[in-house]
């Protein structure tokens, strides 16, 4: 998920424009034009940082000097200074909230993702932890990238990069086997096909019909275990990736990981984010 800075900047500038409205009236009246300050972004709790590249891109686009002291994806402690900034005070204060909103959201996502991954890996499982498309509207790139920086799998990036036949598709089409075959013939060779199934049998049908990935939706750990075993017995284990989704939480994630499933996906990683607390502090007024 690499974006050239100029492209990234456009996305972020729109957030800034929204937050400013017709202009920052406080700064305009309270801070003299030409004032130069030095400031720091400081973590107020420990976690995994994400959004540093985005923050630096925003600041540089505003002609502020930004020096990142920690890299995206790093683990940080409380009071870690994440970046130092020097430049025009009015501009910095006008951008402060947008900067922090992006950094604290992305870092919050990376922190939670990373904690779940560590939990699963510490228990000796190789299960991938993935997010879904349940992001904050308009923040697809940033939410997905934060998951990636936390060590997670981004899953599909929008609706054009993976065929994912879900419950509502099947409610219309009626038959898993037909649906998969119809799509298999028509879809580009460059795409994988995933099917969401609601019982063990359907999983086998989907695999036989040529699905690359099968997703067990709202299965209990026990059901997942049985489904994995069935696919193994029928010789599809090496041909088909298995994903489980729904009802998976930090509490039960090890039970799911122990089923031998390949991927666990959690909507909560991006739709129920806890921001990682940070603040921007002016540390020196260099010119008034």
Binding positions for its own copies, 243-272, rule CB under 8 A: 243, 262-263, 267-268, 271-272
Q: Which of 72, 196, 243, 262 is catalytic?
A: 196
Cα separation, 213 vs 166, whole angstroms: 12
Give first-to-last CA distance, the chain, whole Å: 41
Binding positions for its own copies, 159-188, rule CB under 8 A: 159-169, 171-173, 179, 182-183, 186-188
Cα separation, 129 vs 114, whole angstroms: 9
Cα separation, 101 vs 273, whole angstroms: 12
Q: Give the residue from 242, 253, 233 showing the smallest Cα distance to 194.
A: 242
Q: Give the residue from 179, 180, 152 showing the smallest Cα distance to 268.
A: 152
- Please state the closest distance from residue 221 (CB atom) to its own copies, in A: 20
Q: Decide if 12 contacts 102 (C-beta within 8 A).
A: yes
Q: State the sign of the Cα–Cα–Cα–Cα dihedral 53, 58, 61, 64.
A: negative
Q: Which of 11, 84, 97, 156 is catalytic?
A: 97
Q: Which of 84, 119, 192, 225 is the binder for its own copies (CB under 8 A)?
A: 192
- Cβ-proximal residues to 151 (8 Å cutoff; 6+ apart), any chain: 73, 113, 114, 117, 129
Q: Which of 24, 117, 129, 149 is the binder for its own copies (CB under 8 A)?
A: 24
198 binds its own copies (CB under 8 A): no
Q: Is 232 a catalytic residue?
A: no
- Please state the closest distance from residue 251 (CB atom) to its own copies, in A: 15
199 binds its own copies (CB under 8 A): no
Q: Is 166 a catalytic residue?
A: yes
Over the window 39 to 78, marking each residue x when it contacts its own copies by CB under 8 A and - when it does not, the resulting string is x---------------------xxx---------------
Binding positions for its own copies, 87-146, rule CB under 8 A: 89-91, 93-98, 100-102, 104-105, 108, 128, 130, 133-142, 144-145
Q: Which residues are tagged catalytic?
A: 97, 134, 166, 196, 217
């Amino acid at each position: 998920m690499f974006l050239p800075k100029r492209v990234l900047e456009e996305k972020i500038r729109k957030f800034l424009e929204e937050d400013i409205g017709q202009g920052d009236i406080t700064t305009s009246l309270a801070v003299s034009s030409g004032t130069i300050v030095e400031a720091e972004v400081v973590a107020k709790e420990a976690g995994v940082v994400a959004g540093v590249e985005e923050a630096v891109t925003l600041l540089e686009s505003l002609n502020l000097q930004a020096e990142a002291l920690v890299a995206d994806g790093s683990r940080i402690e409380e009071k870690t200074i994440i970046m130092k900034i020097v430049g025009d005070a009015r501009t910095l204060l006008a951008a402060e909230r947008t900067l922090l909103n992006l950094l604290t959201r992305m870092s919050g996502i990376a922190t939670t993702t990373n904690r779940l991954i560590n939990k699963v890996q510490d228990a000796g499982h190789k299960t991938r932890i993935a997010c879904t498309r349940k992001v904050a509207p308009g923040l697809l790139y940033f939410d997905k990238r934060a998951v990636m920086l936390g060590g997670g799998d981004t899953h599909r990036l929008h609706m054009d990069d993976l065929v994912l036949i879900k419950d509502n598709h099947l409610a219309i089409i009626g038959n898993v086997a037909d649906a998969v075959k119809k799509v298999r013939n028509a879809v580009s060779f460059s795409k994988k096909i995933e099917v969401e199934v609601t019982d063990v049998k359907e999983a086998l049908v989907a695999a036989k019909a040529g699905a690359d990935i099968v997703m067990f939706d709202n299965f209990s750990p026990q059901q997942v275990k049985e489904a994995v075993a069935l696919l193994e017995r029928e010789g599809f284990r090496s041909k088909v990736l298995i994903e489980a989704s729904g009802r998976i939480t930090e509490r039960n994630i090890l039970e799911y990981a122990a089923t031998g499933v390949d991927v666990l996906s959690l909507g909560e990683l991006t739709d129920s984010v806890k921001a990682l607390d940070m603040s921007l502090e002016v540390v020196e007024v260099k010119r008034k």
